[in-house]
A and B are shown apart, each in its own frame.
Chain A
Amino acid sequence: MDAAEFIYPNDPHVAWSIMIVLYPYITGLVAGAFVVSSLYHVFDQQVLKPVARLALVTALCFCMFATLPLLLHLHHPERAFNIMITPNATSAMAGFGFIYSFYMLLLVIEVWLVFRPDIVERVNTNHGIRRWVYLVLSLGVPRITEQSLKIDRRLIRILAVVGIPAACVLHGYVGFLFGAVKANPWWSTALMPVIFLISAVLSGIAVLLALYVFICWRHQVAPEIECLRTLVRYLWIALITAFSLEALELIHMGYEAGSEWHILRTLLTEKLAVSYVLVQVIVGSLVPLVLLSVAVIAKPSRRMTVWIACIAAVLILVQVFAMRWNVVIGGQLFSKSFRGFVEYRISWFGREGILAAAVVLMLPFIALYGANRVLPISTADDH
């Protein structure tokens, strides 16, 4: 059936802009990076030691800016805090406020405990103002003993264990927000939280891989090949799972062919032809799938593995962004009459423009760079 270009009066404006695309993208990176750090802290994956600290701090740096796009999207950002000051028990968004705060606190404490030995060491090796900064960071206790280390390690483990469900809830909830919009057939599916979560893990591993290789390259050291291979394997598994789930959902919609299918089909094949078919499916999923399969199954040389891992990671990062875009923007491009389409025009400038989005996406990396100047995050120095 052809779209009749019939839209409702409340349809034309695409209210959720690129900022709302960034929001699940960034929280996804947080959750994904945290899961990797937990693989080391909870599941004792010793091979991941070289990226364990990086993973934790990456999660923290992205978490710091996770709500920034939301605030930029709001015209009265100061009112955002009302969801926590006077929360409504039935509001999923209010729930997010609390989950986010809890998780942020947990991350800060865990990072602090992990880096305490380094902070203490720096209190003792620095002078003047720098010493004071580290002294404050050590909460005025610049001493470690064998026993305190043991207690810290146990605490870190507990926090990491608690952090896994917290990270999953944090991001699963974002999917739930979309999944619970019953008027929108492109969002309203129970698979949504799961799909969001798995693609979050996927993007988290990818960003760590890319960061790790980048840091090693900057420090002119070779990345630990076993760590890299392990990350590649996890990336591969996450990609297969994420891709299968997304495909399953689409096949299910198509086979069921409900009243909304004709509009969704047109949406995907015409309106989102580039961002969905080309970027998300072909370039972002199938190509990395082939690359990673080669890397995992054929076990190519060290150099080759690094290259493959890097290309696949970058493609996957693009893919997950495209996926968020196709969900958030795509879901608003068709009229709820199922008979017409609207257009999303994005501008360069303004609070919700491309430049602002680019800045928001840069900030976590800048924070990471800053953190790295204060504490030894890229363990490349350690070795």
Chain B
Amino acid sequence: MSATRHLQILALLLLLGGGAALQLRNMLVPATFGEIGTYRAAALGTNAAHPLTFPSDARCLKCHEDVQEERVESLHTVVRCVHCHGFGAEHITQATAVEVDSSVTIASAQDWDHHFPTKVDLFITYDRATCLACHQATVGMPDSFLQINVAEHLEDQGAEDVEDVNVCFECHTGHSPGL
């Protein structure tokens, strides 16, 4: 059988190599991989454990039912709280802590710093910039979206102080702006 000796050695090497590769693979596959899908099942828990940074509106509305009452009739029910108030993650932490420990204080809302990707956790603003981010007439926006040409709109409606940044609130509110 010496004619195939070299092939036998090759086969042995392939077998050993293949076995080592499989073994290595088994060592490298992370725990809980594949239990539910092509990913680590434990990743779900890891992600859920991250500190809250982007609460849902439902979360806010648990405590602010009155706001929902104001909004429910308005087209603005579709607009998320974050656009006008910030993420409010710390606010929720504080407000939740208050329920068990009355010594905690809920920081009041700050002023907006005029940055859209803002770091201010909770703010209240009347600045027209927040409204115009969505409502200023833009090329390419579907016609059905409510857009205004600011100067024309203010003139048509007869705004008192056209220069005022808070001018929209002469006539509109944030939660239910429809008239």
**Which residues of A approach B to under 8 Å, CB–CB?**
6, 81, 84-86, 88, 105, 109, 112, 116, 138-141, 143, 145, 147-148, 151, 155
Identify B25's interface contact among A85, A105, A151, CB under 8 A: A85
A151 touches B34 (CB 8 A): no
Kindly count the residue-residue contacts between A and B in the assembled complex, taking CB atoms under 8 Å apart. 39
Give the residues in chain A near B53, CB-CB below 8 Å: none
Question: Which residue, A116, A140, A148, A155, has most C-beta atoms of chain B within 10 A?
Answer: A148
B10 touches A145 (CB 8 A): no
Given A86-B34, A86-B38, A88-B38, the answer on whether A138 and B29 have CB atoms closer than 8 Å is no
A155 touches B9 (CB 8 A): no
Q: What DSSP secondary structure best describes chain A's contact surface?
A: helix
**CB of B49 closer than 8 Å to a CB of A:** no
**CB of B4 closer than 8 Å to a CB of A:** yes
B4 touches A85 (CB 8 A): no
Given A143-B2, A145-B2, A148-B6, the answer on whether A86 and B13 have CB atoms closer than 8 Å is no
A148 touches B3 (CB 8 A): yes
A22 CB → nearest B CB, Å:
27
Identify B3's interface contact among A86, A138, A145, CB under 8 A: A145
9 tightest A-B contacts by CB? A141-B6, A147-B3, A148-B3, A88-B38, A139-B9, A85-B28, A141-B5, A85-B25, A139-B6
Task: Report the bound CA distance from A372 to B28 in whole Å.
Answer: 37
Task: Report the bound CA distance from A325 to B33 in whole Å.
Answer: 38
Of residues 30 through 85 on chain B, the ones whose CB sits less than 8 Å from some CB of chain A are 30, 33-34, 38
A148 touches B4 (CB 8 A): yes
B33 touches A155 (CB 8 A): no
Task: Report the bound CA distance from A85 to B34 in whole Å.
Answer: 12
Give the residues in chain B near A105, CB-CB below 8 Å: 14
Question: Which residue, B5, B29, B34, has most C-beta atoms of chain A within 10 A?
Answer: B5
* 13 extra A-B contacts, CB within 8 A, seeds A139-B6, A148-B5: A81-B28, A86-B29, A86-B33, A86-B38, A116-B6, A139-B9, A140-B9, A143-B2, A145-B2, A147-B3, A148-B3, A151-B4, A155-B7
Give the residues in chain A near B34, CB-CB below 8 Å: 86
19 contacts between A and B (CB under 8 A): A81-B28, A84-B25, A85-B25, A85-B28, A85-B29, A86-B29, A86-B34, A88-B38, A105-B14, A109-B10, A116-B6, A141-B9, A143-B5, A147-B3, A148-B2, A148-B5, A151-B3, A151-B4, A151-B7
B69 CB → nearest A CB, Å:
37
Give the residues in chain B near A145, CB-CB below 8 Å: 2-3
Give the residues in chain B near A151, CB-CB below 8 Å: 3-4, 7
Give the residues in chain B near A81, CB-CB below 8 Å: 28
Give the residues in chain A near B38, CB-CB below 8 Å: 86, 88
